[in-house]
C-alpha cells in the first residue's frame, strides 16, 4: 500500500494545479460563479487531507472530483463549439475542435472523439492494473525506485501522451511535420480499424470490405483487451476465464505501456501498409492539426489529463473494490448532472 503521507501530499498538489488551470482559462474575460467555486473546493481539499478522518476526507475528495470535472467539461464544450482551430492556450485547457457539416459533426471530429475515448480508457485501465500490482507487491516497474512508482503511475496520462505526440519522436522515424503524408494519431487509428475504406463513399465492394475490416479489427482489439485483463490480475478481474484462461504476468502491462507510449510509431511501422499510409482521403484535415498544441489539446489538454490522475488518486484511497465502483458510479452521475447545469447556465449568458 502507498503511505497516506504520499496521498496527502500529491492529492492537494494536483488539486492546486487543476484549479489554477481552470481559473486561468477565462481569467481575462471574466469567471463564472461555478469556476470561482473551485477555490472553495480547493480549500476543502487542502483542509480535508490534513485534518479530517479517512471517510470524511474521501467524501470531500469525491465532491471535489465532481466539481472539477463538471467545470472542465463545461469549459471544454464551450471552447470546442466556438473554436474549430487550436492554439498554444488549448494545450492547457483542451479543444476537441468540433467541425460540423450542417447539423452533423463531420467524420474527422467523430474519429477524433472515438480515438481519444478509447485511448484514455486504455490508459485508465493500465493505471488500475499497475496500482493493483503495487498493492499485490508484484515485482513490476523495477526500473523505477519504489517511492516513485506511485507518482509515475498517477502521472501516466501525461507521460504516455506527451511521449507519443512529441515531435522529436516523430522525427526519429521520418514522420515529422515536414513529411507531406503526415497523419495525426486519430487518422492512423481510423485507417488501422477500417483499412482506409470509406463506407458510403465508394462502390458496394468497398462498403463490404469496410464492414468486414471494422468487425474483424474490433474483435481482435477486444480479444487483446480481455487477454490483457485476464493475464494481468491472476483471475481477480477476468472475463470469459473458462475460454481464455487466467494468469498473473507483468508482460501484458509492459506491452500495453509500450503500445500506448509509442502508439503512432507502432501503428504506422507495424500495421499500416504503404498504400494505406500514402493515400489521402478527401476530408483528411490532419495537416491543419499537426501542431503540438493541437495534438495535446484533443485529449482535453493538460487539465483533463491531470484530472484523470486526480480521480484515480482519490479512487485508489477508497478501500474495497465494491466501494470503488460505487464511488465511481456516483462521481459519473453527479459530474454529468453538474456539467449539464453549468453548460445550460453558460448558454443562457
Backbone region of residue 121 per phi and psi (left: phi > 0; alpha: psi in -120 to 50; beta: other values): alpha
Q: Which of 172, 175, 216, 164 is nearest to 192 (CA)?
A: 216
Q: Quick one: cell of 28?
A: 481575462
**Residues 208 and 288: beta-carbon distance below 8 Å:** no
Q: State the pLDDT at residue 168.
A: 60
pTM of structure: 0.85
The H or E element that residue 101 is part of is: strand 100-101
Statement: residue 246 has pLDDT above 70: yes
The CA distance from 81 to 85, in Å, is: 10
**Residues 197 and 209: beta-carbon distance below 8 Å:** yes
What's the mean pLDDT in 93-110? 73
Higher pLDDT, 105 or 42: 42
What's the mean pLDDT in 119-136? 86
**Residues 92 and 19: beta-carbon distance below 8 Å:** no
Statement: residue 88 has pLDDT above 70: yes
**Residues 333 and 203: beta-carbon distance below 8 Å:** no
Q: CB under 8 Å to 85, separation ≥6 — which residues? A: 97, 288
Q: State the pLDDT at residue 282.
A: 46
Which band of pLDDT confidence, cut at 50, 70 and 90, is reported for residue 171? low
Q: State the pLDDT at residue 265.
A: 79
Statement: residue 205 has pLDDT above 90: no
What's the mean pLDDT in 225-247? 78
The H or E element that residue 197 is part of is: none
What's the mean pLDDT in 62-87? 84
**Residues 49 and 317: beta-carbon distance below 8 Å:** no
Q: State the pLDDT at residue 172.
A: 52
Statement: residue 303 has pLDDT above 70: yes
Backbone angles phi, psi at 101, to 5 degrees: -115, 95
Statement: residue 117 has pLDDT above 80: yes
Statement: residue 298 has pLDDT above 70: yes
Q: State the pLDDT at residue 26.
A: 74
Q: Which of 43-57, 236-250, 325-339 has the lowest mean pLDDT?
A: 236-250
Which band of pLDDT confidence, cut at 50, 70 and 90, is reported for residue 324? confident
Which band of pLDDT confidence, cut at 50, 70 and 90, is reported for residue 155? very high
Q: Quick one: cell of 194?
A: 477500417
Q: Quick one: cell of 215?
A: 468487425
Amino acid at each position: 500500500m502507498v503511505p497516506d503521507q504520499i496521498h496527502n501530499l500529491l492529492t492537494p498538489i494536483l488539486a492546486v494545479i487543476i484549479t489554477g488551470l481552470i481559473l486561468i482559462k477565462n481569467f481575462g474575460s471574466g469567471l463564472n460563479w461555478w469556476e470561482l467555486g473551485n477555490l472553495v473546493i480547493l480549500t476543502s481539499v487542502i483542509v480535508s487531507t490534513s485534518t479530517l478522518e479517512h471517510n470524511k476526507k474521501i467524501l470531500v475528495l469525491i465532491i471535489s472530483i465532481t466539481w472539477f470535472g463538471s467545470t472542465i467539461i463545461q469549459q471544454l464544450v464551450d471552447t470546442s463549439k466556438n473554436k474549430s482551430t487550436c492554439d498554444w492556450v488549448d494545450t492547457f485547457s483542451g479543444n476537441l475542435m468540433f467541425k460540423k457539416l450542417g447539423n452533423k459533426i463531420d467524420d474527422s471530429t467523430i474519429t477524433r472523439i472515438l480515438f481519444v475515448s478509447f485511448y484514455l480508457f486504455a490508459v485508465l485501465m493500465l493505471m488500475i492494473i499497475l496500482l493493483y500490482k503495487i498493492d499485490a507487491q508484484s515485482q513490476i516497474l523495477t526500473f523505477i525506485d519504489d517511492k516513485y512508482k506511485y507518482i509515475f503511475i498517477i502521472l501516466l496520462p501525461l507521460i504516455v501522451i506527451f511521449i507519443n505526440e512529441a515531435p522529436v519522436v516523430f522525427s526519429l522515424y521520418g514522420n515529422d511535420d515536414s513529411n507531406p503524408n503526415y497523419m495525426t494519431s486519430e487518422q492512423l487509428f481510423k485507417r488501422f480499424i477500417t483499412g482506409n475504406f470509406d463506407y458510403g463513399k465508394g462502390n458496394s465492394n468497398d462498403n463490404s470490405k469496410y464492414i468486414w475490416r471494422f468487425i474483424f479489427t474490433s474483435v481482435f482489439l477486444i480479444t487483446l483487451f480481455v487477454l490483457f485483463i485476464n493475464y494481468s490480475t491472476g483471475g481477480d478481474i477476468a472475463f470469459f476465464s473458462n475460454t481464455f484462461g487466467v494468469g498473473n504476468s507483468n508482460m501484458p502491462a509492459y506491452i500495453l505501456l509500450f503500445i500506448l507510449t509509442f502508439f503512432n510509431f507502432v501503428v504506422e511501422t507495424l500495421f499500416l501498409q504503404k498504400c494505406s499510409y500514402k493515400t489521402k482521403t478527401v476530408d483528411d484535415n490532419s495537416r491543419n492539426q499537426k501542431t503540438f498544441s493541437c495534438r495535446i489539446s484533443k485529449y482535453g489538454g493538460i487539465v483533463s489529463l491531470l484530472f484523470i490522475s486526480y480521480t484515480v488518486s482519490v479512487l485508489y484511497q477508497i478501500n474495497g473494490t465494491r466501494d470503488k465502483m460505487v464511488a465511481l458510479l456516483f462521481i459519473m452521475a453527479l459530474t454529468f448532472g453538474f456539467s449539464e447545469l453549468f453548460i445550460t447556465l453558460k448558454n443562457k449568458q
